[in-house]
Amino acid sequence: MGSKTGFPFTAIVGQNEMKNALILNVINPSIGGVLIRGEKGTAKSTAVRSLAELLPERKVSKCPFRCVVSQQDELCPYCKESSVSGSMEEETVDMSVVELPLSATEDRVAGTLDLEFALKTGKKRFEPGVLAKANGNILYVDEVNLLDDHLVDLLLDAAAMGRNYVEREGVSFSHPSKFILVGTMNPEEGDLRPQLLDRFGMAVDVKSEKDVDTRIEVIKKRLEFERDPDAFAEKHSNEQNVLRKRIDAAKSLLKEMEIDDGAMRMAVEASLYFGVDGHRADITLLKSASAYAAFYGREKTIKEDVASIANLVLTHRMRRNPFQESTIDTEELNKWIKSL
């Protein structure tokens, strides 16, 4: 069986917060990814996988790591070499969703000695792993809270440096590894390590739809999809195109984005008010708010934009104590937003 038609993003019923969080990250990859927490069977994985169809194009080098040519200091060893000799080649590819399965082995995540090459030529060569494929793309970890600690360590290192350093099996190598980290998890199965939780720019909590009519809509869409995936995709292709274009437009708007002084003030106030440590929250608030403004076609980020995305950015950072009830926090947040 080859590649099969997936469920279209725009056909997912409800779950607007989750969809928004994903889209905003695509518009502005520097937001830092999103953690989707929620009940089982709530289309978490479906949403992330279906994002692939909406992703924009990128212009990158032809090397296995898809280096961005303009980022000279971050090139991989191959590109550095060809950059010196002036033989660097570029091509346009779609951004993609790269999956990190729980069962992955360390060598496949970080990359390792190329066995085939070694057997054929007797020479050593680096074989890229998942962290290489993820460069410039979305790195998706399903059930991220169950990922083994030693893999989490690899992920954290790469995320912090934007680069993957490999020193093992007699190979010494480094290459760029910048990705949008997207994780899904069911909180009942275990907590996420605090360091990893901090890495996520946003977090959303999803629940199944309680409204009966919406539930019926969910069943109908699913049945229709299962009956004929291609026809279903065709039916939604228009919506998909519109959304894809809107994301592209937002990406270009973002380059010229102006941030209103009121918005900046509000971001700082929000972080201070909720006692969030460090400046990462302030900055992420503004990045997300800008992406939000751009998605709505505006050239200026205002304080309402910050208010609209505040809960996505702040909820998971407010829980300084692991046993604090997050629902209370959310209520407080909403109250605070309303009071403005």
Partner 1 sequence: MDKEPLSGFPFSAVLGADEVKKAIKCLLVSPGIRSVLVQGTSGSAKTTLVRSISRISEKKVINLPLNATEGQVTGALDIEETITSGTKKILPGLISRADGNILYADDANLMDRSILGSILKAASGEEITAEREGISWKYTSGMKFIATMNILENPMDEQLLDMFDVCVDIGNITNEKERYEIVRRRTEFDRDKENFHKIYEEDDAKVSGEINTAAARIEFVSISDDLLRVIAELCSKVGAEGHRGDIATTNASMALAALNGRDEVILEDVKDAAKMCLRHRMTEVPEEENEKRSSEPNTEQPDADADMTPDDIGTGGNDEDGGTGGDDTEMVFSIGNTFSVIDFTELRSFRDVNARSYGKHGKTKSTMCKGRYIRSRISSDHRDIAIDASMRAAAPYQKFRKKDGLAIVLEMSDLRQKVRERKSGASIMFVVDASGSMGARKRMVSVKGAVFSLLKESYKNRDKVGLTAFRRDSAEVLLPFTKSVDFAYRKLKDMPTGGTTPLAAALLKTYTELKKEKRMRPNERYYVVLATDGRANVAMSGGDAFRDALSAARHIGKEATASWIVVDTGTGYPHTDNALNICKELNGIYLKLEDLNSDGLAHRIKTITGRGYA
Candidates 57, 91, 94, 169: give the one binding partner 1 (CB under 8 A). Answer: 169
Q: Tell whether residue 309 is a contact of partner 1 (CB under 8 A).
A: no
Tell me which DSSP letter residue 41 carries: T
Number of residues in contact with partner 1 under rule CB under 8 A: 65
Strand pairing class (202-206; 34-38): parallel
Candidates 4, 255, 335, 338: give the one binding partner 1 (CB under 8 A). Answer: 4
- The residues pairing with 134 across neighbouring beta strands, listed in sequence order, are none
Cα 38 to Cα 49: distance, rounded to the nearest angstrom: 16
Measure CA 210 to chain center. 27
Q: Which of the residues 215, 244, 280, 298 is marked catalytic?
A: 280
**Interface map 200-239 toward partner 1 (x if CB under 8 A):** --------xxx-x--xx-xxx-xx--xx------------
DSSP 112-164: EE-HHHHHHHS---EE--HHHHTTTSEEEEETGGGS-HHHHHHHHHHHHHTEE
Span of 27-35, 185-193, 273-281, 294-302 interacting with partner 1 by CB under 8 A: 185-193
As measured in angstroms, the least distance from the Cβ of 219 to partner 1 is: 5
Is residue 222 among the annotated active site residues?
no
Helix 280-295 and helix 303-318, axial crossing angle in degrees, nearest 10: 140
As measured in angstroms, the least distance from the Cβ of 221 to partner 1 is: 10
| Ramachandran angles phi, psi of 180, nearest 5° | -90, 115
Q: Tell whether residue 84 is a contact of partner 1 (CB under 8 A).
A: no
Q: Tell whether residue 16 is a contact of partner 1 (CB under 8 A).
A: no
- Computed over its alpha carbons, how large is the radius of gyration of the chain? 21
Cα 28 to Cα 255: distance, rounded to the nearest angstrom: 10
Binding site for partner 1 (CB under 8 A): 1, 3-4, 39-43, 45, 49, 99-109, 112-113, 115-116, 118-123, 127, 129-130, 143, 145-146, 148-150, 168-170, 186-191, 193, 208-210, 212, 215-216, 218-220, 222-223, 226-227, 322-323
